[in-house]
Chains A and B, each alone.
Chain A
Amino acid sequence: MSRLLFLLLFTVSLGYSQDYYFYAAAESDDTVSLISFDGETLTEEERIPVGVMKTENEGPHGLTVDPSGEYWYLSLAHGTPYGSLVKYSTTTNRPVDKTTLGMFPASMQISSLTGLLYCVNFNLHGEMKPSSVSVVDPETMTEIKQIQTGVMPHGSRISPNGRFQYSVAMMSGELFEVDALTLEVNRILSLDKGGKMNHKGMHHSPVKPTWVTPHPTKPLVYVAGNGSNEIIEIDTDLWKITNRIDTGKGPYNIDISSNGKFLVATLKGDAKTLVWEIEKKNKTVVPNNTSVSHGVVISPDSKYAFVTVEGVGGEPGLIDVIDLKKAKVVSSLKIGKQAGGIAFWKIEE
């Protein structure tokens, strides 16, 4: 029913111009930018200073907007020593609540089933030991549980039905499936070609998975093999790898369009973005306008991919908008340094 309604309204909306709104974090400037895109031009609507300590870099990293669109959530990577999660109002862009998480909290998403937020504790700069997924009730901003997963977990994404949370462990080379209801690890899959990972005999995974995204309609998840320069397709019914797709250097973050047609992956090492038409198996590599491509989010109408590009040193971070049909950058905007986390908010007619 809702799919039908979606299609109907989508068709009606074709005749109107649309403004797209999203948030992007600048990790080395301690700012988050609210950005709009009118189909031609990106505009920075507001640059929001974040963090508490003016003279300490707190590293805004992950972003997500809750399903109602009322709040956005930001992970601050650095603390004393733990990072934190801050809840902001989309109306005022002011913080309304905060909670401490684990070491270097990074990407996150809210389950439409449980309403809980699942954020990976990347522990990027810590010891090579298993880290965790923090489960937070965004209503009370209480960290309910830390679920131990692998070494350097990243890319927290929720299955379309809200039941499972997926993340990958970058250094131990594993895919984790967490049951969003029981808050336990459900399944683990080694992504390295050599087989299952032993945490006691720690090694650096050659795959170095950095992101996982479920397909919107099929029982598939896609993993960015940052070290092996590939996208790995996993059938979640079979819980096995079903395809490995070569990419450019260092695929980092991934998003899949809601119509299931496009998979877009940032290629961090190449300063490019891969646009892959999944069914057609058609790959296009789009150069970004500066180096160190990082985050990506696709608009819900499957038209545009918004990509963050970090830049180096004193260079500003960038937002590149890629028209998915044209597979080219159609607009670009400078924001704060080391642009990374990105989350879509809304479309306005």
Chain B
Amino acid sequence: MKKFTFNLIVSALLLSSSTMFSQELVVKSNLEGLTMSVGETFKPTSFAENLKGEKTMCQAVIYYNKKGVFSTAKAVTVNRGEGTIRANEPGTHEIVALCIGQQGQRLSRTFPVQVDFPKAKEIKITLSSSKVYEDSYIPLDFEVVDEMNFTRKNEFFQLSTDSNNIEIDAFNNVKAVSPGKAVLSASFDNISTSLTIDVLENPVVKLELKAGLDVARTGDVVNYEAIGYDKSGKRIEGLPFSYTFSGKAVDKSNTASGLIMSDGKFVAEVIGDYMISASIGSSSVSRPLKVVGRGIEREVLKVGKGVVTDKHTSDFWVFEGVDGRDYAVTGTWGADGTSFFWDVTDPANIKKIDSVKVDARTVNDVKVSQDGRISVIGREGASDRKNGIIILDVSNPYDVKILSEYTKNLTGGVHNVFIDNDHVYALSGSQRYYIINIKDPKNPVEVGMFEVGKEGQSIHDVWIEDGIAYSSNWRDGVYLVDVGNGIADGSPSNPVAFANYDYATGAHHATFPFKSKSTGKFYTVLGDEIFPDGVDENNPNITAGFLHFVDFSDLDNPVEVAKYELPGQGSHNYWIEDDILYVAMYGGGVRIVDISGDLLGDLYRQGREIGYIMTGTSDGYIPNATMSWGAQLYKGYVFYSDWNSGLGSSKVSDLKPDNSKANQYINKTPIID
């Protein structure tokens, strides 16, 4: 092989012969135009053929599913021992035939293989409403069950009716137009079925739309309840109302936007006049809603900084030391294994007071015990590849001492770590976390381990609060694990998972539990980490992703209700206290967001942002390049770390934004008294 690279001429000669092979020949196979049935096995034969139709036999042919080796490729599987392929799932799939020529040249071709859906065995139409009233569209679900017991939803049935009180349009929308029995007929794959629908006369003669508020702020969730009354003035129960809204923004260049739910919850994003409507059949009722600004914007003032000038800064933790003074520890990224300690007692005068250097390139995460005596830092990139954690005595942060190194089961690198009640929760190789008792910090002892237990399990972070470990597991979402709370009889040595929620993007990297003081609801706030364009060393990195607010009030039925998404910037680490979110949004700085009250929809667009700071500094490692890593509210100050600048502190003032500094064309949200 090296001779190929050594001599260009030799390479060219050999390459040209290979190219000739591929240019003059094409793979022919009985895979061409192949249609299979589910469960069928087929033995492909392939050869190479030139333009004159002359055959060249392959030394060997390797067949494979173009989707690779993972579960998505199970639709058609290859048995190389038998030399066969087997169709397992309906659809159009791609099989590659790779012909190894007699002289070793390769030639390949991709063949689409059609696997037919099995013949339909049964078709179903389901009415998803208990009552159907005249002048309304009928909610229907369509389903096919085939002979292999595959179920398909939303196939396009041929619908027809002889009844004149329902109408079918070209897209299979069915409208009830007058009362009476109607028979809807459907056919698919030569199977027919029918559904009898009892279209009811609209009994409603009077409608009422109740609401808790007629003037609301952007972001306030207003609950609407429509009530229908019959001729006798009696309330009719169980009416399937449809809720809609329209509106006009105060700002003529803006659109009155918001979100309305099927249960009548409404939240407005923009100041303006809205009309909320509820309808049933041809009857409807409306109610106006005036929406005003939240009026929560405040000046956020930079207070102090502890600049790290020669390396990237990673995570941080601010804590009260045993001497009653206030301290912080910061990690470093892609550097030399240094962690810095800071005196932040005066947030305006942050002082670097000590540092610890260990064998690592990245100290991604740093945490401190509740009593301020022990710090744990995670190692990545250790030269001996053992990584693990380092346990530090920080009882005197001016003179930090290494107490022990612990690497058992942690050689894959400890990306994130947490300390809770004499136990360290340390991630291992992006797959699981181990629980280590550090009551004797010089002799740590592993007592437990938690993993999701799925193929391809992966983890990015773990956070402990009230004896519950919240692990962030990328595509597997958040796992709530009892490590001492008692809700599931768990303990550090017996971690027991009791709830889980995942979402489609699979980018879940951090979790913060949030018990709303204003509503009593319990949420987990789940953060994404996404770099949509990959790494670009020469330009600011593009980040994406947002915070998902999941209502976990019912642990068995978590519901994602809201999001915080800053346009153009992705989320990283965050903190929540007193119904206020402090979130590092990478290039978007640290954002401070009012998350009081019920939460629904897009929180950023609802004007819930109190303020923000850009965390870059002119004297940082990369000057003026904000890359906010994390935020923590501590004794009234918003501390933060910035990847390019180090540590900083800020304060949310009582002052409203100084409009004299603002561009005159910025339309600050007016408050209507």
Contact = CB atoms under 8 A, between A and B. Distances in A.
B411 A65 contact: no
Interface in B1-43: 1-11, 13-15, 18
B62 A80 contact: no
A34 interface: no
B7 A55 contact: no
B6 A300 contact: yes
Nearest to B643: A55
A313 B1 contact: no
B347 to A, nearest CB: 25
B361 A143 contact: no
Interface string A292-328: 1000000111000000001111110000000000000
B233 interface: no
A105 B668 CA distance: 53
Most buried by B among A27, A80, A143, A182: A80
A52 B100 CA distance: 34
Given A6-B6, A53-B529, A54-B535, A144 B62 contact: yes
Interface of A is mostly: loop
A336 B27 CA distance: 45
Nearest to B312: A55
Contact of A301 (B6, B360, B572): B6
Nearest to B103: A113
B108 interface: yes
A56 B66 CA distance: 29
B69 interface: yes
Contacts of B411: 124-125
Contact of B11 (A10, A68, A78, A137): A68
A146 B69 contact: yes
Contact of A292 (B362, B383, B413, B415): B383
Interface of B is mostly: loop
B381 A144 contact: no
Interface string B296-316: 000000000000000100100
Interface in B388-445: 411-413, 415, 428-431
A69 B12 CA distance: 10
Interface residues of B, number: 77
Contact of B383 (A50, A52, A299, A312): A312
B106 A115 contact: yes
A211 B124 CA distance: 61
Contacts of A40: none
A88 interface: no
Nearest to A258: B2
A113 B338 CA distance: 49
A10 B6 CA distance: 9
Interface string A159-173: 010100000000000
Contact of A345 (B5, B336, B383, B643): B5
B324 interface: no
B475 interface: yes
B535 A51 contact: yes
Contacts of A68: 4, 11, 15, 18
A296 to B, nearest CB: 13
B212 interface: no
Given A82-B456, A100-B70, A338-B361, A67 B337 contact: no
Nearest to A67: B4
Given A140-B66, A162-B104, A313-B360, A49 B334 contact: no
A10 B360 contact: no
B100 A114 contact: yes
A2 B10 contact: yes
B333 interface: yes
A138 to B, nearest CB: 10
Most buried by A among B65, B67, B104, B108: B104
B430 A78 contact: yes
A158 B9 CA distance: 23
B80 interface: yes
A143 B70 CA distance: 9
A49 B536 contact: yes
A337 interface: yes
B317 interface: no
A69 B334 contact: no
Interface in B271-316: 311, 314
A311 B360 CA distance: 11
Contacts of B70: 100
B458 interface: yes
A55 B383 CA distance: 20
A28 B1 contact: no
Most buried by A among B5, B336, B411: B5
B152 interface: no
Nearest to B629: A55
A258 to B, nearest CB: 5
Given A28-B334, A51-B535, A144 B64 contact: yes
Given A55-B333, A80-B458, A112-B1, A50 B535 contact: yes
A164 B629 CA distance: 48
Given A146-B69, A346-B5, A337 B361 contact: yes
B96 interface: yes
Interface of A: 2, 5-6, 9-10, 13, 27-30, 49-57, 65, 67-69, 78-82, 95, 99-100, 109-110, 112-116, 124-126, 134, 137, 139-140, 142-146, 158, 160, 162, 181-184, 258, 291-292, 299-301, 310-315, 337-338, 344-347
29 contacts: A2-B10, A5-B9, A10-B7, A28-B381, A54-B535, A67-B15, A68-B18, A79-B458, A80-B430, A80-B458, A80-B460, A81-B457, A110-B1, A114-B104, A115-B105, A124-B411, A134-B69, A140-B110, A142-B66, A142-B67, A143-B69, A162-B104, A181-B59, A183-B80, A258-B3, A300-B5, A313-B361, A338-B381, A346-B5
A-B pairs, top 8 by smallest CB distance, nearest first, are A314-B336, A125-B412, A300-B6, A115-B106, A125-B429, A300-B2, A28-B361, A28-B381
Given A68-B4, A69-B5, A142-B68, 14 more contacts: A51-B535, A53-B531, A57-B413, A67-B14, A142-B96, A145-B69, A181-B100, A291-B383, A312-B383, A314-B335, A315-B336, A337-B334, A337-B381, A347-B5
